[in-house]
Structure 1
Amino acid sequence: MVNLFNKMLLIFCAFFAYSINAQDIEQIRDLYLKVEHEARYGTKSSYLDIADEIVDYPLAPYAEAIYLVRNMSLANKHRITRLLSRYPDAPFSHKLQKAWLQYLADGQLRQAFLEEYVDVGDTRLTCLNLTWQLQNGASEQHILPQVTELWMAPFSQPKECNFLFNKWQKAGYLTTDKALERLILAAKQKNYGLLSYLKNLLDPSDTHLASLWKSVVTRPANVAKTNFFLLYNDKEKDILLFALNKLVFVAPEKVDNLWSELSPKFAFTETEVNYLTKRIALAYAVTTHDSSLEWLLKVPEEVVDESVKQWRLAFSLEKGDWQQTLNIMSSLPEQMQTDESVVYWKARSLDELGDQTWSKRAFSELSERRDYYGFLAANKMGVEANLRHEPLEILERDFINVGSSKVMQRAFELFKLNRLNDARKEWNLLIKYSTTREKLAAAKLAYNWGWYDRPIFTLAAVGYLNDVNLRFPLAYKSILSTSAKNNVVDPAFVFAIARRESSFMHDAYSSAGAAGLMQIKPSTASYMAKSKVRRKQLFKPEKNVKLATNYLSYLMKKSKGNPIVATAAYNAGFSKVKRWLPEKEMAADAWIETIPYKETRNYVKAVMAYTEVYQKLLKRTDNVFAKSQDAVISPTL
């Protein structure tokens, strides 16, 4: 592999037209950064004087795009159009294309604009394109149907669209049905200012719908008011369904009562009845209402899905009634009977009921799987978990083919410069147009570079799941192992958390505010550090892992050494997990199924499975999750 990697380096360097050694490559990268700086901040001459020095470097187009965006002019038209035609899908092209079109539009350079136009997702530019086409003699029959989608927006569009909208309306494309559809979109977005205009476009018999939609979007419970509905037709039924869906998880009993009261007055379809029945059942389940299981069991088979199955299972396990668990699993739709969770819990129930003939066979078959239920079954059988590692075999020519791709070379250089967002965009562009064999070669190549997140996602997308090393890399091994040792936490556990949280992307950031390798929040990090920790600091692997592992150790202590509870708390917070503890002692595998948050439930299962994998990869025997089905969760900590 070392020889092959050197060959790949040779290909890359040959493409740059430079001599081959690490020092030269670093000098080229430093030179590129200087050129890029001049493109962004320097004068025209300071950029042009040195731009030719990197003309063969893969990232040269990035610097050129930066320079051209900053220097829009007709004099640069040839350079702009040449760059866009050579790299139409590159990450820098969208910004350049949009800037070029805006420049042409602002200068009223209509013919050039129409010749250069492509859709860049800008409504103003789209409207100008269609308007100028019409004014240049294009057929209304060709142009006006394209206007419908622009008009059907939940907000007011730019003034550049007005000419089009007037033409469109006069040509008869505006109907009362379209006006109502747009009114509903605007109401749902709480753009109430648009409702008055749209109300005037409705049939007189429908004008009251504007106030009804505003009322239910503002406060869904308003549907319970006396005489709220006037006609009980399908248009008002849509309002009721919207309100009930908004209310159901907030006040399931209220929705249950409203449904009983109002459903006879509307003509509901069987599909609508089944859907709402399922929603009420799930809402009752989330609130642990006494009627939960009763409602869950009456959900029609045709709409039983994973969520209904999970809640039926959770309530039966919570009662500790193994016969009921078996009955519920056996009564699920036929297509669910081969689901690994159904097979496991049927086997588990039969085992508890003393019928081990079928259960042993089922556990044995499940134990061949490399996943949560497979590992549980293996532990149940007392056998070693089977990783079924099958390393990817990539031909040298496939490596060379992928490595010689200009897109791959740009991705590599961006990765080496730590421009990870753009590197991933280039990677996605490569994958979009690659064959399966090329994707696998690219994944292996990225792994050899130390770019560990790309193989994880690529192999999952392709469906090749048996190269365990690529899917579960020992990334940041020194940092993770050292921090685990310092905090007396199982290193396999720490690797599993990092793999599940970020797939080893040290720059990962979530909408909840968690950052870095182990996705810890600045507030949590500050608490553990006893000083202010900023988000930017958490993108540094050592800092992130040190604080996150310290927090994991803290959770283990609060959980009295129970890694399953600690894992759930790492995801959802310790206070929530305390509320989820069972009323009486419960088997750990059963308790996990009762965790009410799907995200946390799946998170715990994933971390348990990943820990088992990393236990094997790290050649450890003292894993905290081993024999986990024998562990229990207590009512108190």
Structure 2
Amino acid sequence: MFTPRQMLLIGALLAPQAQAADTPEPQDLRQIFIQHYSSAVAEPGILSDAIHQTLSAYPLYPYLEYQVLRSSLETQTEERINDFLMRNADTPLYGRLLFAWARHTGEQGRWDSFNTAWQKIQRPSTELKCLNGQYQLEQGNLTTAWNQARELWTVGHSQPDICDTLFDTWLKSDNFRSADALNRYRAALFEGREGLATYVSRFITDTSDQSEAKRSLSLFQNPRLLLDEPKQLSTSTTEAHRLLEVTVRRLARQDLEAAIQLWIRDRERLKVTTDDQAELSSYLGVWYAKRFPDAEGRKLLTQLDPNFRYPNLTGWRVRLALSDRNWPQVSQLISKLPSDERQSDRWRYWTVIANQAQGKSDEKRLASLAEERSFYGFMAAQILGHRYELNDSPAKLDQALLDKLAALPAFTRMRELLALERYSDARSEWNLATSDMPPEQVHHAAHLVSQWGWHHQGIRGAISSRQWNDMQLRFPNPYPKLFSRHAGSRDIDPAWALAVTRQESAFWMGAKSRVGARGLMQLMPATARATARRHGISLPELAKLSEPDTNIKLGTAYLSEVSERFNGNQAYATAAYNAGPNRVSKWLEARGELPLDIWIETIPYDETRSYVQNVLSFRVIYERMDERPVALFSDSEFATLALNQQD
């Protein structure tokens, strides 16, 4: 309920003679909103007209109004819903309420209202498609209804329960065929859902379809069967290409070499087109290359891609040559890459190193590369003793445009949502508000929200507006004192910890990865707890990981641990922060004798390789932006680069 102060504020707003000085302050409206938003969810009818009138001037009032409507759809009229939709067509709430209203009216069988809503929806959900199928049935449009049912049912996964009415009607109709069931049976196996396939098998009534289902299941359960019995698939087999692909993928989990051999044999035998071969050939080849096969094993890669059609696989063949330090082969394989790939900083660098190793001076190319702001450009600069180039192009901002953007309703809502830490809603507002903006306005908008402290979105805005050289926007440092204090106390480079944070979360405090890592430095809960115990850092609850001070304190403590474990080598320690210390130790045990740049290039995890290169580069960028002396590699690390280990 209201506090006395809030009651006075509401009374002052409603009273005709209220003075301007009695108008609620923004922070007061924010508190009233917070207090009553939960009521809008639980008991929408409890909110009085006075509350609505008081908050009508608050930027987030549409969210309260939406929640009231969303929580009481059963009592709402189409007129009331349409009134809200009309007034809020430029907000993310429009789509949310429209979807909810369409589903509600469909479930209630209010088909006229459903169809009115359906006509406004551009990308309907599966649930709404099923309801539309029911609507078409009600209208007697059987062809449309059956087509919708077939499209939705013939997939390799379960569909929402709301679809059952449409499916049950279709399954009992003359339109349903045994072949439909076979298609879904195979789709289920293709997605690895054997249980669903078992359920679907009851609908396969045709003898030939049953035989095809049995064949599909045999290959699914025993993929080696096809290797021993090629007759299981022929060019006349329905969906032979798809069955071959699934069989090969399942066999690869058991025996990768055998799977590659099967694919090489049958992709031609079953006349799989060159285009259709590409994805699986590259996938299998890269997977196999990351195992670092011996010379005999590498012949398999040549058989898999004799004509160098797959750049990603060719890139890994270059990496294998690098791991052997077979420089003529490195040069030869790089020449097989597409022209645009060869011109990337990565392969320009390795072309130079391979040339130098073969006695061909290539300083001109190296000097050109040293002008680039990239990991490879920075390596080239350090080799030549050149200054690291940032190629910074500071933004020339138009204050009038910034003010205009800030005054837009979408941005006033965005700012309030950020204040309430409703980041998902804020991002929805951003996406909608900037969807039709020209790049210059998006660039200004990115600076605006970055000024508000939403650095993560500022960085994303720089990317979407292609402002690659706006270094202030792309590389903010919102917590310099925290990084200096906590990294300094652990005797590690604050710029390194800052670079890790920039790579991990781009300074989004609400960041949470799909595996559960949290906060600025993306700490896993178990790692955070263990680090807190070892270093005597208070962590009473995981929610504390959303606080910058706690997160940076724990993150730098853990970073210091991996740094110590790998003797201060920042490349190894950075890899360990991303992939785990034990995994990096295994990589070092297998290939630790390699020059450092080759070791980084041959990290088998693509994410970790990019992560290491980005973090090391970002550290240089941050130090250069603050005009501090910096080197990409320490002297001892630099001495282990490939160029410095050549005879």
**TM-score computed with the length of structure 2 as normaliser:** 0.85
Residue 78 in 1 paired to residue 82 in 2? no
Instruction: Give the letter for the 1:472 counterpart.
Output: F
> In structure 2, do the counterparts of structure 1 residues 349 and 125 end up closer, same or farther at CA, with 3 Å as the change threshold?
closer
Residue 519 in 1 paired to residue 522 in 2? yes
Q: Out of 397, 402, 425, which is 1:399 matched to? A: 402
Partner Cα distance (1:314, 1:499) in 2 = 28
> In structure 2, do the counterparts of structure 1 residues 491 and 178 end up closer, same or farther at CA, with 3 Å as the change threshold?
same
Contact residue 585 and residue 633 of structure 1 kept, 8 A: no
Partner Cα distance (1:442, 1:20) in 2 = 32
Query: 2:152 is matched with which residue?
Result: 150
| Cα offset, 1:320, TM superposition | 2.1
Contact residue 434 and residue 442 of structure 2 kept, 8 A: yes
| Cα offset, 1:567, TM superposition | 0.5
Partner Cα distance (1:506, 1:21) in 2 = 36
> In structure 2, do the counterparts of structure 1 residues 435 and 31 end up closer, same or farther at CA, with 3 Å as the change threshold?
same
Query: 1:632 is matched with which residue?
Result: 640
Query: 1:251 is matched with which residue?
Result: 255
Query: 1:385 is matched with which residue?
Result: 388
Q: Out of 331, 336, 341, which is 1:336 matched to? A: 341
Superposed counterparts of 1:397-436, under 5 Å: 397-436=400-439
Residue 304 in 1 paired to residue 310 in 2? yes
Q: Out of 439, 442, 458, which is 1:439 matched to? A: 442
Partner Cα distance (2:90, 2:217) in 1 = 42
User: What secondary structure sits across from 1:443 in the alignment?
Assistant: helix
Q: Out of 351, 354, 358, which is 2:359 matched to? A: 354
Q: Out of 244, 253, 256, which is 1:240 matched to? A: 244
Q: Out of 555, 570, 576, which is 1:569 matched to? A: 576
C-alpha deviations, 1:418-457, integer Å up to 9, x for none? 1112111111111212221211110111121121011111
C-alpha deviations, 1:190-221, integer Å up to 9, x for none? 15345564575576434222233334444544
Superposed counterparts of 1:204-603, under 5 Å: 204-218=207-221, 220-224=223-227, 229=232, 233-235=236-238, 236-248=240-252, 250-259=254-263, 266-271=270-275, 277-290=281-294, 291-298=296-303, 299-301=305-307, 303-305=309-311, 307-356=312-361, 359-530=362-533, 534-581=541-588, 583=591, 585-603=593-611
Contact residue 587 and residue 632 of structure 1 kept, 8 A: yes
| Cα offset, 1:159, TM superposition | 6.6
Larger mean CA deviation between 217-226 and 577-586 belongs to: 217-226
| Cα offset, 1:152, TM superposition | 2.4
Superposed counterparts of 1:68-217, under 5 Å: 68-75=69-76, 77-88=78-89, 90-117=91-118, 119=121, 121-136=124-139, 139-140=141-142, 144-154=146-156, 155=158, 158=161, 162=165, 166=169, 178-189=180-191, 190=193, 192-195=195-198, 197=200, 200-201=203-204, 204-217=207-220
Partner Cα distance (2:44, 2:408) in 1 = 33
Residue 40 in 1 paired to residue 41 in 2? yes
C-alpha deviations, 1:375-408, integer Å up to 9, x for none? 1111122111111111111223322332232112
Partner Cα distance (2:364, 2:39) in 1 = 69
> In structure 2, do the counterparts of structure 1 residues 557 and 128 end up closer, same or farther at CA, with 3 Å as the change threshold?
closer
Partner Cα distance (1:459, 1:23) in 2 = 36
Instruction: Give the letter for the 1:282 counterpart.
Output: V
| Cα offset, 1:592, TM superposition | 0.6
Aligned length, in residue pairs = 613
Instruction: Give the letter for the 1:323 counterpart.
Output: P
Partner Cα distance (2:515, 2:322) in 1 = 32
Query: 2:64 is matched with which residue?
Result: 63
> In structure 2, do the counterparts of structure 1 residues 95 and 261 end up closer, same or farther at CA, with 3 Å as the change threshold?
closer
| Cα offset, 1:543, TM superposition | 1.1
> In structure 2, do the counterparts of structure 1 residues 324 and 266 end up closer, same or farther at CA, with 3 Å as the change threshold?
closer
| Cα offset, 1:546, TM superposition | 0.7
Partner Cα distance (1:354, 1:265) in 2 = 46
Contact residue 368 and residue 374 of structure 1 kept, 8 A: yes
Instruction: Give the letter for the 2:606 counterpart.
Output: K
Contact residue 18 and residue 24 of structure 1 kept, 8 A: no
> In structure 2, do the counterparts of structure 1 residues 71 and 325 end up closer, same or farther at CA, with 3 Å as the change threshold?
same
Partner Cα distance (2:75, 2:306) in 1 = 65
- Runs (5+) with no aligned partner, structure 2: 1-17, 643-647
C-alpha deviations, 1:303-326, integer Å up to 9, x for none? 222x32332222122112333322
C-alpha deviations, 1:15-51, integer Å up to 9, x for none? xx99899993322322222332442345635443211
Partner Cα distance (1:627, 1:175) in 2 = 72
User: What secondary structure sits across from 2:508 in the alignment?
Assistant: coil
Partner Cα distance (1:159, 1:53) in 2 = 40
> In structure 2, do the counterparts of structure 1 residues 507 and 625 end up closer, same or farther at CA, with 3 Å as the change threshold?
farther
> In structure 2, do the counterparts of structure 1 residues 584 and 194 end up closer, same or farther at CA, with 3 Å as the change threshold?
closer
Query: 1:5 is matched with which residue?
Result: none
Larger mean CA deviation between 204-213 and 308-317 belongs to: 204-213
> In structure 2, do the counterparts of structure 1 residues 615 and 163 end up closer, same or farther at CA, with 3 Å as the change threshold?
closer
Contact residue 149 and residue 170 of structure 2 kept, 8 A: no
> In structure 2, do the counterparts of structure 1 residues 27 and 600 end up closer, same or farther at CA, with 3 Å as the change threshold?
same
Higher relative contact order, structure no. (Cα contacts within 8 Å, ≥ 6 residues apart): 1
Larger mean CA deviation between 26-35 and 117-126 belongs to: 117-126
Partner Cα distance (2:475, 2:233) in 1 = 60
> In structure 2, do the counterparts of structure 1 residues 257 and 328 end up closer, same or farther at CA, with 3 Å as the change threshold?
closer
Contact residue 518 and residue 545 of structure 2 kept, 8 A: yes
> In structure 2, do the counterparts of structure 1 residues 230 and 436 end up closer, same or farther at CA, with 3 Å as the change threshold?
closer
Instruction: Give the letter for the 2:387 counterpart.
Output: E
> In structure 2, do the counterparts of structure 1 residues 230 and 551 end up closer, same or farther at CA, with 3 Å as the change threshold?
closer
Contact residue 431 and residue 439 of structure 1 kept, 8 A: yes
Contact residue 398 and residue 441 of structure 1 kept, 8 A: yes
Partner Cα distance (1:456, 1:19) in 2 = 40
Partner Cα distance (2:159, 2:423) in 1 = 36
> In structure 2, do the counterparts of structure 1 residues 176 and 393 end up closer, same or farther at CA, with 3 Å as the change threshold?
farther
> In structure 2, do the counterparts of structure 1 residues 98 and 583 end up closer, same or farther at CA, with 3 Å as the change threshold?
closer
| Cα offset, 1:605, TM superposition | 0.7
Instruction: Give the letter for the 1:24 counterpart.
Output: E
| Cα offset, 1:258, TM superposition | 3.8
| Cα offset, 1:147, TM superposition | 4.0
C-alpha deviations, 1:533-587, integer Å up to 9, x for none? 6542222211111111101101111101111100111111111111112556332
| Cα offset, 1:63, TM superposition | 0.7
Instruction: Give the letter for the 2:62 counterpart.
Output: P
Q: Percent identity?
A: 27
> In structure 2, do the counterparts of structure 1 residues 302 and 462 end up closer, same or farther at CA, with 3 Å as the change threshold?
farther
Query: 1:11 is matched with which residue?
Result: none
> In structure 2, do the counterparts of structure 1 residues 255 and 150 end up closer, same or farther at CA, with 3 Å as the change threshold?
closer
| Cα offset, 1:141, TM superposition | 5.4
- Runs (5+) with no aligned partner, structure 1: 1-16
> In structure 2, do the counterparts of structure 1 residues 21 and 555 end up closer, same or farther at CA, with 3 Å as the change threshold?
farther
> In structure 2, do the counterparts of structure 1 residues 473 and 628 end up closer, same or farther at CA, with 3 Å as the change threshold?
farther
C-alpha deviations, 1:307-354, integer Å up to 9, x for none? 323322221221123333222223333342212211111112222333
